[in-house]
Amino acid sequence: MNFKAIMTNLYFLLIYADGKVNDRETSLGKKMMVAEGFEEKGFEAALESLKAKDKTVLFNECVKALKKLEVKAQIRCIAWLCVIANSDGFMDKEEWVLIYKIYHTELKLSLDDIMKTQKELNMILHGRSFSTLGVKVGD
């Protein structure tokens, strides 16, 4: 699995983590696709095909593939997840559980490195640098 496939799969897991996909997540997903040089038709087709896949199997495949990437690429993947999860102002608890499980439990990445990369991505997307890890616990 290459970087683009991993990112597509992780994006899918993230947007369905809380059981509801919102417009901001899909909008930022499209911006991520452009920023990373993904082909739109391929991205959309991949997302559609993932709906039939078991999420636990998909998660395990993603983690296995992530572990084969360089640390810098791993950090970029997690930073994208953080940016997208915070697109509506708060990260849903289930989104945080997914992100934490990947970056901390599975990959043992530095949160500082992820935050730094998240700021860089926000600069690309929004023209300003910021990072957030606020978790929305209740409605």
DSSP string, 74-132: HHHHHHHHHHHHTTTSSEEHHHHHHHHIIIIIIS---HHHHHHHHHHHHHHHHSS----
Strand partners, 135: 91
In angstroms, how far is the first alpha carbon of the chain from the final one? 37
Q: How many whole angstroms from its chain centre is CA 134?
A: 15
Tokens of 83: 């940016």
Q: What is the pLDDT of residue 90?
A: 80
d(CA 30, CA 33) in angstroms, rounded, equals 5
- The pLDDT of residue 129 is 55
Q: Which two tokens stand for residue 45?
A: 């087709």
pLDDT of residue 136: 43
- 3-class DSSP assignment, residue 56: helix
Global pTM reads 0.88
**Rounded CA separation 105/127 (Å):** 32
Do 109 and 103 touch, CB atoms closer than 8 A?
yes
Class of domain 3-136: mainly alpha
pLDDT at site 134? 47
Residue-level pLDDT at 132: 52
Q: Print pLDDT tens along the chain (139 aa).
A: 999 999 999 999 999 998 888 899 999 999 999 999 999 899 999 999 999 999 999 999 999 999 999 999 999 999 999 999 988 778 889 999 999 999 999 999 999 999 999 999 988 887 755 555 544 444 4
